[in-house]
Chains A and B, each alone.
Chain A
Amino acid sequence: MARPSHPKKEIEEAIKYAETEGWRVKVGGSHAWGKIYCPYNDHECRCGEFCTTSVWSTPKNPGNHARALRRVVDNCANRKRVRDADPVVED
């Protein structure tokens, strides 16, 4: 069954973007609209806390919230790709 859409257009688009990157969506809550789950949430993940991220129903600024959600998806996907291709070495 298809999940319900998020009432705010830009947030719905950010959620759809997360889905195309393999994130799972679970709907539920009141202030919270639901949650998104990273497909790579394993012990090697560096950005662990945001591997599960809460999505607000009516955030103060929907544009900012949508951007923040996209950032989480991008950071994680990027890290994954970067790490697979070329391990990051700090000095």
Chain B
Amino acid sequence: MEYTFTLKYQLNEQDSDFDALVERLGEAGCDDALVGIGQPGRLALEFTRAADSAKTAVRSALADVKRVAPSARLIEMTPDFVGLTDVAEVVGVSRQNIRKLMLAHTGSFPAPVHEGSASIWHLAEVLTWLDTKGGYALERSTLEVSRIALQVNLAKETRRLPARQAQQFSQLIR
């Protein structure tokens, strides 16, 4: 199957020659990715990678970029963090529809990652919830890729937290 996902990186100064970087990416077989270089110090790759699973596709893409630009730091993999508008777009329904669902199922609808003027969810959790609820034609590849994106982003975030602290807090929250 083909999996579409985006990897966004922060570049180190030594990798700021975009043209050279793009050539190395082409050399490394990343010509199945759309390379975005519109912001200084940033690199975005929208892969459409064929593989037998989303996990294999994403692992090989991460490994390719790591080989080409070892100093590049992953900022985010998408699709993962989403607002209701994004969810509606992915599912192919109106934003109003998703919002109604959320309000009608406050107890079971996935909890957001951030609540505020713009609330954010993990796409994988919302899609999994919709999938269990039934009645929505969800693309399997999107569901699979969003689950991997969640794992990649969490793996990246935990690096911010010293192991000891993580243990102390994990007992107090659920």
Chain A contact residues, CB within 8 Å of chain B: 28-32, 35, 38, 41, 45, 48-54, 56-61, 64-65, 68-69, 72, 88, 90-91
Contacts and interface: CB of A to CB of B under 8 A. Distances in A.
Interface string B26-41: 1101011011111100
Contacts, number: 86
A91 B117 CA distance: 5
Nearest to A91: B119
Contact of B19 (A29, A53, A64, A69): A29
Given A29-B19, A31-B22, A49 B84 contact: no
The 6 A-B pairs of least Cβ separation, nearest first, read A31-B26, A51-B38, A49-B44, A90-B118, A50-B36, A49-B36
12 contacts: A31-B26, A41-B38, A49-B43, A50-B46, A51-B36, A51-B39, A53-B35, A54-B37, A56-B31, A57-B26, A59-B31, A68-B48
Interface in B38-69: 38-39, 42-44, 46, 48, 50
A81 B26 CA distance: 33
Contacts of B141: none
B85 interface: yes
B interface secondary structure, majority:
mixed
Contacts of A35: 37
Contacts of B157: none
Contacts of A51: 36, 38-39
A39 B161 CA distance: 41
A32 B23 contact: yes
A60 B32 CA distance: 6
**Interface residue tally of chain B, by bracket?**
20 to 34
B144 to A, nearest CB: 18
| Residue from A32, A49, A51, A90 having most chain B Cβ neighbours under 10 A | A49
B34 A65 contact: yes
B2 interface: yes
Interface string B1-28: 0100000100000000001001101110
B110 interface: no
A31 B27 contact: yes
A53 B37 contact: yes
B19 A50 contact: no
Nearest to A90: B118
